[in-house]
Amino acid sequence: MQPSLSLAAGIVAVLALAPTVRWFGLRFQRLVYVVTQSQDAALYVYHFVLLPGTLLHELSHWLAAKIMGVRTGRLMLMPVRKGNVARFGSVQIGSSDPLRESLIGAAPLAMGVLLSLVIARWRFGWQAAVPASWAAALDLWRTLRAAPDAFLWLYLLLSITNAMLPSESDRRSWRWVGAALLVALLALQFLGLLGSLVIPVMPWLARTANAIGFAALLAVTCDLLVGVFLMLVELGIGFVFGRWVDVA
């Protein structure tokens, strides 16, 4: 895997993260439903599995709001279903300006990526970078197999990465901040100042992008591997016991 392919893998992983998380959640809940024949059981079991990640998600909102001086209220960690959408937790956050709302909304994603990288480095000895070769990818697998309590830490990674994505309400102010940032960048480019400001931080931006790509690749890989296993178990139950789910 050449560096260009490593970059491409990171970009693909970032783009695939949200649909893969949704697919994994569907696969997990389908299996629980096949076993229990209960939609509520499927929701509550999945909520229990993601509880560490959900707790981190909501505490990240709360901590970011506290740091930025925004009022906070009750924290709830019970699943609530509205139609086909389920919310596994929430924390009451007071009104503020779009910039602070955007940062508070992005806090779970930033914290999830950071904690995933800490676990990958601390427990598995992995560098926070997308593998640049197939040999490097195989080295990751070898260190994973040799790590103590590997399944426990992989479970935590799975829980964190599947609960770290911002919800629709978390993203509601992003378009305004994004538009303001775009205008600022265009203004700096027009004034001829953009290059002098961006070049000094390019190494940091490259390392950050590589770390985010690695975290996304880690999340997507875990979800796909576990999700395929769950799908095979679901198919096995269907063939043996004749229990099938009539939705995709």
Domain membership of residue 70 (yes or no) is: yes
**Token reading at 131:** 């593998």
- What is the SS3 assignment for 117? helix
- 132 — phi, psi (to 5°)? -90, -5
Domain membership of residue 248 (yes or no) is: no
Domain membership of residue 246 (yes or no) is: no
The pLDDT value given to residue 129: 63
Q: Which residues contact 160 (CB under 8 A, 6 or more apart)?
A: 52, 53, 56, 112, 115, 116, 119
Q: Please, is 33 exposed, middle or buried when counting C-beta atoms within 10 Å of its C-beta (0-12, 13-18, 19+)? A: buried
Q: Which residues contact 94 (CB under 8 A, 6 or more apart)?
A: 65, 70, 71, 72, 73
Domain membership of residue 247 (yes or no) is: no
**What is the DSSP-derived secondary structure letter of residue 170?**
T
**Averaged confidence pLDDT in the chain:** 84
Res. 229 pLDDT band, cuts 50 70 90: very high
The pLDDT value given to residue 47: 92
- Least confident window among 31-35, 53-57, 94-98: 94-98
Bridge pairing between strands 85-87 and 80-82: antiparallel
Report percent pLDDT > 90 for the chain: 33
Res. 233 pLDDT band, cuts 50 70 90: very high
Report percent pLDDT > 70 for the chain: 90
Looking at the structure of the chain, the number of domains it has is 1
Domain holding 88, by residue range, is 3-241
The whole-angstrom separation of Cα 17 and Cα 223 is: 9
Q: What mean pLDDT comes out for the span 228-238?
A: 92
Bridge pairing between strands 90-93 and 85-87: unpaired
Domain membership of residue 193 (yes or no) is: yes
Nearest to 102 by CA among 160, 164, 166: 166
Res. 26 pLDDT band, cuts 50 70 90: very high
Between residues 236 and 132, the one the model is more confident about = 236
The DSSP secondary structure of 122-181, one letter per residue, reads HHH---SS--SSHHHHHHHHHHHHHSTTHHHHHHHHHHHHHH-S--TTTTTTHHHHHHHH
The pLDDT value given to residue 81: 78
Res. 224 pLDDT band, cuts 50 70 90: very high
> What tens digit of pLDDT does each residue of 153-208 get?
889 999 999 999 888 888 888 888 888 888 888 887 887 777 777 788 777 777 77
Residue 51 has pLDDT above 90, yes or no: yes
> What tens digit of pLDDT does each residue of 89-123 get?
888 898 888 889 999 999 999 999 899 888 888 87
Residue 119: what residue type? I
Domain membership of residue 30 (yes or no) is: yes
**Token reading at 64:** 């970011």
Domain membership of residue 224 (yes or no) is: yes
The whole-angstrom separation of Cα 53 and Cα 46 is: 12
Give pTM, 2 decimals.
0.84
Q: Which residues contact 212 (CB under 8 A, 6 or more apart)?
A: 10, 14, 113
Q: What mean pLDDT comes out for the span 9-24?
A: 88
The pLDDT value given to residue 247: 54
